[in-house]
């Protein structure tokens, strides 16, 4: 039996790589110093795995920015706009592609970035042109393999497979299909493989997570022919084929016929496929199976009892020598090391005993191998401790609340139903709120200046007293209200100055959430996030937002919108529990948010926005599973929104999304008003709503908040006219694309003034 992992986090246990990258970009350290940090991280990772007893360690899982961008460089897939940099320093070219570059000599936009499957990790999207050529360009894979050899470690280099690489990219010109580039791409893969085999490489790990998606016949053929060709050229190479995040599904028959040595299975996401494979008549009993038992996407301890049963099943059919134990996917999506969490005020020891971060997961793999093979006795203590932790988790009072559970059980349709239809609500709201045509509003947050952030951090450290902190936030809130009144916004916001992050803020105030101190995971490039740990039944101790919303409302006669994060987004951006279905957890959050919505209403708030920017990214990878997800996600939103009277107007907000294929679910959310990001696409994203004849009110974003550029009145009017042409005018709201927390005040002020002017001019024209 062998052990392996698919990849290890690379940002550094103290986020060294983040810091070094940012210092390098700011010109504060030399490239040599940056490279040193990289090689130090790789070395630490390998030695840790080696000392833990991992048999096949990955290499090339390290990246200075992103593994897909690394692959672009490996195969020379470099968009023409960077040609000037192509023969300069390779790392600088690499960062220019990732981040864009602007100086006297060159002005190039960055490559596009998008989410890696259903994770919160973002990869750089490869760009292809009709006459695309590939060449062996960066020797990173070879270099890192050699680097490990020098440490006495023979690694299993990781490569993104050719088909997944092509499918992840985008045609930048019309007239060809990206898969047609395969014949040009494969020779470069051959060259990489040949360089590696000449260094005596035994295994190469090809990641083909596209096998977790619905593939068509042509795409499956591409998989088949790629690996047949690789095998023909390199008959002695042992191919380790990895798919993760979902089952092989309909792609299984194709996969079982491939000439590969080891097939990896994500048994966390798709437990049943092991049986399917072992029973399949196409399964060649000499193929090794890598059992991805240890969850690479979540932070819970592995359940040794369950895993051992699975291992036993595999061993009984194919023999110990053909079984590998591994992580479900790369550990990239897990934090580094639970041992760093020494601060008991943050992470209760009772909770900590249920968790395993990357370093602990290595140990779990080692222990599972020990328990499943001859050294059973040596690992008895670990086994016992594991059983105890799981037993404790089943009954812990920290987790289980009968009150919360029975509330969820008692949910019925009346909870997810507003009292009247939208049309009736709209009439009542129009007379209750008395807003002009094309009402103006913003999405919630105002600039989080250095001072605002410093108040929060000083308050957290105890340097600022609660009363001093409150008075500072109150002053900032008041100024924002006055500003909005002055420039003539119709529906105001309080500004969210008291909030660190739209999920963390609520997590910190809800039962059932815990926070680590060092649980960082890479989101993209040097950006890391520290997702809350949703460990228990969720409930609300007391009001979470009423204080600041009610305070803001007390300052003005205009309506101030209450501002909440929706249940699906809170779920999606946390590490969620694996001891109950996501849907139940989501309903628990929905009920807590519902209580808050009702509280806001009782405290005089007439408009409440429930943000759901993450609804779309929660979609399962396979279409057949979409409906189930969308049904419960929409329902959870409706539970959160439906506790109020007809006159209270519910808004929702979504961004970074395409809406076409989920528009009926968005409509089914039945928010009175939805605000969306549309300006960057020149209102293209609005089409889905128009074609669908979206029945409720809608605020298509009229300016891009990701850029410091201030839009002119004319530009905004131009977008507004576009909206007016396709939507009933009584349904149109005027607002920016998203919250303004990343902007500064001067540009925000001018931009919003222009926005109000544009709306007023349109009003006069009616
Ligand atoms: N209300 C949040 C804000 O304005 C919404 C953020 C988001 O959609 N990502 O910041
Ligand atoms: Zn947004």
Over pLDDT 90: what percentage of the chain? 93
Distance 549 CA to ligand 1 centre (A): 16
Sign of CA dihedral 64, 70, 74, 80: negative
pLDDT tens digits, 129-184: 999 999 999 999 999 999 999 999 999 999 999 999 999 999 999 999 999 999 99
Q: Is 701 in the pocket of ligand 1 (CB under 6 A)?
A: no
User: Out of 166-175, 257-266, 682-691, which region has the weakest mean confidence (pLDDT)?
Assistant: 682-691
Relative to the alpha carbon of 442, which ligand is closest? 1
Residues 6+ apart with CB under 8 A from 641: 418, 594, 597, 608, 610, 650, 652, 669, 670, 671
Give CA separation, 480 vs 112, 255, 469, in Å: 34, 59, 17
Residue 705 C-alpha to ligand 2 middle, in angstroms? 9
Residue 351 confidence (pLDDT) above 90? yes
Is 291 part of any known ligand binding site? no
Rounded distance between C-alpha atoms, residue 125 and residue 146, angstroms: 28
* Ligand 1 neighbourhood includes 364 CB (under 6 angstroms): no
Query: Closest Cα partner for 192 from 211, 206, 209, 178?
Result: 206
**Is the minimum distance from the CB of 741 to ligand 1 under 6 angstroms?**
yes
Does the CB atom of residue 126 touch ligand 1 within 6 A?
no
Distance 738 CA to ligand 1 centre (A): 6
3-class DSSP state for residue 205? strand
Could you list the beta-strand ranges (E) of 174-261.
203-207, 238-242
Give the C-alpha separation, 236 to 238, whole Å.
6
Tell me if 651 CB under 6 Å of ligand 1: no
Please tell me the number of the ligand nearest to residue 506's CA: 1
Do 386 and 304 meet the contact criterion of CB atoms below 8 Å apart? Answer: yes
Q: Give the pLDDT score at 109.
A: 84
DSSP letters spanning 357-381: -HHHHHHHHHHHHHHHSTTTGGGHH
pLDDT band, residue 81 (cuts 50/70/90): very high
Strand pairing class (521-524; 323-327)? unpaired
| CA 108 / ligand 1 centre spacing (Å) | 29
Nearest atom within ligand 1 for CA of residue 445? 4
Other beta carbons less than 10 A from residue 238's beta carbon: 15
The best mutation among 738, 742, 743, 748 to test binding of ligand 1, ranked by most ligand atoms within 8 Å of the C-beta, falls on 738
Ligand 1 nearest atom to the CA of residue 609, by list position: 1
Interface predicted TM-score of the whole assembly (ipTM), two decimals: 0.99
The Cα-based distances of 477 to 386, 464, 491, 492, 563 in angstroms read 49, 18, 15, 11, 14
The model's pLDDT over 366-411, given as tens digits with 9 standing for 90+, comes to 999 999 987 778 999 999 999 999 999 999 999 999 999 999 999 9
Question: Of the listed 40, 390, 706, 718, which one is catalytic?
Answer: 706
pLDDT category at 706 given cuts 50, 70, 90 is: confident
Ligand having the closest approach to the CA of 610: 1
Please check whether residue 376 is in contact with residue 382, taking contact to mean a CB–CB distance below 8 angstroms: no
Structure tokens at 540: 């609300």
Give yes or no for residue 654 CB within 6 A of ligand 1.
Answer: no
122 is in an annotated binding site: no
- pLDDT for position 449: 96
The pairs formed by 172-175 with CB atoms below 8 angstroms and a separation of 24 or more are: 172/79, 172/127, 172/128, 172/129, 173/129, 173/130, 175/130
C-alpha 657 – ligand 2 centre gap (Å): 10
pLDDT of residue 682: 83
Q: Ligand 1: which residue has its CA nearest to atom 6? A: 739
Instruction: Please report how the helices 31-52 and 90-99 are oriented relative to each other, as an axis angle in degrees rounded to 10.
Output: 90
H/E stretch holding 128 reads: strand 127-128
List residues bridging with 67 in a β-sheet: none
706 is catalytic: yes
Residue 343 predicted with pLDDT over 90 = no
pLDDT for 199-218, tens place per residue? 999 999 999 999 999 999 99
For residue 444, say whether it is annotated as part of any ligand binding site.
yes
């Amino acid at each position: 039996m062998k052990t392996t992992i698919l990849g290890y986090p690379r940002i550094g246990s103290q986020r060294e790589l983040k810091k070094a990258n940012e210092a390098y970009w700011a010109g504060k350290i030399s490239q040599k110093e940056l490279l040193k940090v990289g090689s130090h991280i790789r070395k630490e990772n390998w030695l840790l795995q080696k000392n833990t007893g991992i048999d096949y360690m990955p290499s090339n899982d390290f990246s200075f920015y992103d593994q897909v961008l690394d692959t672009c460089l490996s195969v020379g897939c470099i968009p023409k706009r960077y040609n000037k940099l192509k023969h300069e320093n390779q790392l600088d070219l690499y960062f220019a592609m990732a981040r864009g570059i602007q100086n006297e000599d060159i002005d190039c936009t960055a490559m596009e970035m998008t989410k890696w499957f259903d994770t919160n990790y973002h990869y750089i999207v490869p760009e292809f042109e009709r006459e695309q050529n590939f060449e062996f360009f960066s020797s990173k894979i070879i270099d890192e393999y050699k680097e490990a050899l020098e440490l006495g470690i023979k690694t299993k280099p990781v490569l993104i497979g050719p088909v997944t690489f092509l499918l992840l990219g985008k045609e930048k010109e019309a007239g060809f299909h990206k898969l047609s580039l395969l014949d040009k791409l494969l020779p470069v893969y051959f060259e990489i493989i040949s360089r590696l085999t000449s260094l005596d490489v035994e295994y190469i790990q090809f990641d083909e997570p596209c096998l977790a998606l619905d593939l068509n016949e042509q795409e499956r053929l591409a998989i088949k022919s790629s690996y047949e060709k690789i095998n023909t050229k390199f008959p002695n190479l042992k191919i380790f084929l990895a798919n993760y995040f979902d089952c092989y599904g309909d792609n299984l028959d194709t996969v079982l016929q491939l000439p590969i040595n080891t097939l990896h299975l994500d048994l966390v996401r798709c437990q049943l496929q092991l049986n399917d494979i072992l029973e399949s008549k196409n399964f060649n009993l000499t193929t090794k199976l890598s059992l991805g038992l240890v969850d690479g996407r979540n932070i819970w301890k592995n359940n040794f009892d369950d895993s051992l049963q699975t291992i036993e099943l595999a061993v009984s059919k194919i023999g110990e020598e053909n079984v590998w134990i591994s992580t479900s996917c790369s550990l990239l999506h897990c934090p580094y090391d639970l041992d760093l969490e020494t601060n008991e005020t943050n992470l209760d020891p009772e909770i900590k005993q249920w968790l395993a971060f990357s370093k602990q997961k290595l140990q779990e793999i080692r222990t599972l191998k020990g328990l499943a093979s001859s050294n059973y006795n040596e690992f008895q203590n670990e086994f016992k401790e594991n059983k105890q932790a799981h037993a404790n988790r089943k009954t812990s009072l920290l987790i289980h609340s009968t009150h919360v559970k029975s509330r969820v059980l008692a949910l019925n349709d009346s909870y997810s139903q507003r009292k009247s239809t939208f049309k009736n609500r709209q009439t009542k709201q129009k007379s209750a709120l008395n807003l002009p045509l094309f009402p103006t509003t913003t999405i919630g947050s105002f600039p989080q200046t250095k001072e605002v952030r410093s108040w929060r951090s000083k308050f957290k450290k105890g340097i600022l007293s609660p009363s001093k902190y409150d008075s500072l936030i109150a002053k900032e809130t008041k100024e924002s209200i006055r500003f909005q009144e002055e420039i003539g916004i119709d529906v105001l916001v309080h500004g969210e100055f008291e909030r660190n992050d739209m999920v963390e803020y609520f997590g910190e105030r809800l039962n059932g959430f815990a926070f680590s101190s060092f649980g960082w995971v890479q989101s993209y490039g040097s950006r890391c996030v520290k997702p809350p740990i949703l460990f228990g039944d969720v409930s609300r101790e007391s009001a979470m937002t009423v204080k600041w919303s009610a305070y803001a409302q007390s300052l003005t006669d205009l309506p101030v919108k209450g501002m909440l994060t929706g249940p699906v987004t809170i779920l999606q951006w946390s590490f969620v529990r694996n001891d109950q279905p996501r849907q139940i957890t989501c309903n628990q959050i929905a009920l807590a948010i519902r209580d808050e919505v009702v509280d806001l209403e009782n405290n005089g708030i007439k408009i409440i926005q429930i943000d759901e920017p993450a609804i779309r990214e929660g979609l399962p990878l396979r279409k057949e599973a979409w409906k189930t997800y969308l049904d419960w996600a929409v329902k959870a939103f409706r539970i959160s929104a439906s506790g109020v009277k007809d006159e209270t107007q519910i808004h929702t907000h979504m961004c970074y999304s395409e809406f076409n294929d989920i528009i009926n679910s968005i409509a089914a959310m039945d928010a009175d008003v939805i605000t969306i990001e549309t300006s960057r696409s020149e209102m293209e994203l609005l089409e889905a709503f128009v074609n669908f004849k979206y029945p409720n009110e809608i605020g298509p974003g009229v300016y891009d908040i990701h850029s410091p550029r201030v839009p002119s009145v004319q530009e905004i009017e131009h977008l507004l006219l576009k909206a007016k042409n396709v939507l009933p005018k009584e349904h149109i709201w005027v607002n920016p694309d998203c919250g303004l927390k990343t902007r500064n005040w001067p540009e925000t002020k001018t931009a919003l003034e222009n926005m109000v002017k544009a709306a007023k001019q349109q009003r006069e024209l009616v």
